[in-house]
């Protein structure tokens, strides 16, 4: 499979995965906080405080663990392997059939994913079965959501400042 096609498939699957996990997290958040608009409105006053608080209270992963997760996700092949493991548990040898790289290279990619706790491997006879670890994926997405909320808040503040400056110049 060509690198472009693999990246496109991986990107599309990554978007589907992020959408699925975000919907599940949003559903959980709605049960705790109320409707999404209420949550966003409650964050608008002082999101830095809320984000900081949630990062301290709910993160559950260290900076080194987050670094390992995002290092693992930085490679298109590893993202594709993770996507396949999420869809269904597969052996390393079954995964290697989808790539134009050696079995050893796929084993190394799965080892990186395993060190990041994105997958676990289970030995069944001579095969190693790769399972996705949804809780780690959910924590990574939650962290990205926190950064997204922070940057949306900052962008809105910049827009407010620019709008205020434009109104001042027009008067």
pLDDT tens-digit profile, the chain (171 residues): 445 554 555 455 566 666 656 665 555 555 444 444 444 444 444 444 344 444 444 456 788 888 999 999 999 999 999 999 999 999 999 999 999 999 999 999 999 999 999 999 999 999 999 999 999 999 888 888 998 999 999 999 999 999 888 787 776
Indicate the Cα dihedral angle 134, 135, 136, 138, nearest 10°.
Answer: 80
| 171 lies in some domain | no
Give the pLDDT of residue 26: 58
Residues 133, 145, 73: CA angle, nearest 5 degrees: 45
CA dist 3 and 39 (Å) reads 40
Domain span including residue 46: 3-166
| 51 lies in some domain | yes
Asked if 141 and 32 count as a contact pair (C-beta separation under 8 A), the reply is no
| 23 lies in some domain | yes
Query: How many domains, in total, are found in the chain?
Result: 1
Give the domain CATH number at 18.
Answer: 1.10.10.10
Q: Tens of pLDDT along 107-120?
A: 999 999 999 999 99
Indicate yes or no: pTM above 0.85.
no
């Amino acid at each position: 499979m060509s690198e472009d096609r693999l990246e496109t498939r991986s990107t599309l699957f990554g978007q589907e995965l992020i959408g699925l996990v975000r919907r599940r997290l949003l559903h959980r958040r709605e049960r705790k906080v109320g409707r999404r608009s209420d949550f966003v409105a409650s964050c608008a006053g002082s999101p830095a405080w809320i984000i900081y608080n949630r990062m301290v209270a709910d993160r559950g992963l260290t900076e080194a663990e987050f670094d390992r997760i995002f290092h693992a996700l930085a490679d298109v092949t590893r993202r594709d392997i993770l996507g396949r493991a999420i869809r269904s548990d597969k052996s390393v040898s079954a995964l290697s059939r989808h790539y134009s790289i050696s079995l050893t290279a796929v084993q190394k990619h799965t080892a990186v994913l395993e060190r990041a706790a994105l997958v676990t491997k289970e030995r069944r006879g001579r095969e190693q079965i790769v399972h996705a670890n949804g809780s780690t994926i959910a924590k990574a997405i939650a962290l990205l959501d926190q950064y997204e909320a922070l940057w949306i808040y900052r962008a809105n503040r910049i827009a407010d400042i620019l709008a205020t400056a434009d109104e001042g110049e027009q008067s």
